[in-house]
């Protein structure tokens, strides 16, 4: 009976739909989209690189929003959401920082250049990694959530600067293909592949944030129960 | 082609690794819950129980 009820759960259907979307996007990325004339097959990395960046920025913006909410209301829900956003955002940022150089090596001839976009993205990875390390090292229940929330709001300033860097400055990183002005754009089938991939990655990000958020809430409740149990045993 | 396979493998690998860490943490939570349940059963049925 338990399996029947879990199948009825809306989250099961959302996870299944996300997996389906990922498979559809994989077909579009490898088969549906035409091969780019100059770069050839290697251009298809773009269909994972760009959606990973979009998913990372969205998760990190969620972290910033939840942190602001925590600073105002001191809600454990906000703290758990902030943690989930940072962890999932960092995972997607890792994908961005690895797939980028894999594309750059054959196209640019170098793995890495210190241009604005790449440097800001690497700085963002270091910031959110240090945010998570800080949360691990400081004891819960102290100033930890407040300090983490304040840092997260401060770190979030990097997100719009990173997004705008290829619009504001001349960088080696390619110029934007979406919302990039009159010179930007993609062939229709390439755009379809990119949009489906973007939807799939955002859905995966949403599922992972939801799972991690629920896990963190459960961990908090268990810690409170454990504390109560210890008090009961002492009395 | 090798670079494409490497990039896609990395993307799936990072996500899988993260899902595995979530599963490991879930198992740890489950163990904590079981310990709490057994401790709570001892408290309610043990020598101090009325």
pLDDT over 90 at A9, yes or no: no
Place of tokens 């050839």: A40
Question: What does each C-alpha distance from A56 to A38, A50, A88, A208, B26 come to in angstroms?
Answer: 28, 10, 7, 12, 23
pLDDT tens for each residue of A32-78:
999 988 898 999 999 999 999 999 999 999 999 999 999 999 899 99
Question: Across the interface, do A91 and B43 touch by the CB < 8 Å criterion?
Answer: no
The CA-based angle B39-B45-B47, given to 5 degrees, is 100
pLDDT tens for each residue of B19-46:
999 999 999 999 988 888 887 777 666 5
Residue numbers in A near B23 (CB within 8 A) = none
Domains annotated on chain A, with CATH: 12-234 (1.20.120)
pLDDT tens for each residue of A99-136:
999 999 999 999 999 999 999 999 999 999 999 999 98
Enter the DSSP assignment of A41.
G
B38 at A interface, C-beta within 8 A: no
ipTM of this model?
A: 0.87
pLDDT tens for each residue of A182-230:
777 788 899 999 999 999 999 999 999 999 999 999 998 998 888 888 8
pLDDT over 70 at A152, yes or no: yes
């Amino acid at each position: 009976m338990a399996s029947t009820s879990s199948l009825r759960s809306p989250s099961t259907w959302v996870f299944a739909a996300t997996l389906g979307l990922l498979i559809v996007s994989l077909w579009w990325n490898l088969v549906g989209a035409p091969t780019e004339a100059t770069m050839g097959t290697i251009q298809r990395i773009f269909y994972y690189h760009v959606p990973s960046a979009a998913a990372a920025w969205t998760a990190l913006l969620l972290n910033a929003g939840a942190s602001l909410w925590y600073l105002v209301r001191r809600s454990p829900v906000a703290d758990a959401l902030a943690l989930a956003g940072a962890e999932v955002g960092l995972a997607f940022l890792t994908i961005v920082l690895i797939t980028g150089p894999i594309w750059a090596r054959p196209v640019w001839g170098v793995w890495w250049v210190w241009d604005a976009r790449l440097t800001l993205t690497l700085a963002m990875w270091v910031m959110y990694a240090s945010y998570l390390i800080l949360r691990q090292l400081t004891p819960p229940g102290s100033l930890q959530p407040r300090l983490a929330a304040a840092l997260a709001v401060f770190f979030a300033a990097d997100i719009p600067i990173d997004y705008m860097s290829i619009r504001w400055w001349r960088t080696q990183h390619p110029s934007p293909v979406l919302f990039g002005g009159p010179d930007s754009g993609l062939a229709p089938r390439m755009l379809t592949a990119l949009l489906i991939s973007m939807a799939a990655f955002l859905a995966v990000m949403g599922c992972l944030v939801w799972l991690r958020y629920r896990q963190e809430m459960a961990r908090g409740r268990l810690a409170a129960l454990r504390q109560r149990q210890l008090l009961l045993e002492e009395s | 082609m090798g670079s494409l396979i490497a990039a896609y493998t990395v993307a799936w690998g990072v996500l899988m690794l993260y899902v595995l860490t979530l599963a490991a943490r879930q198992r740890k939570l489950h163990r904590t819950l079981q310990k709490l349940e057994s401790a709570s059963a001892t408290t309610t049925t043990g020598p101090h129980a009325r």
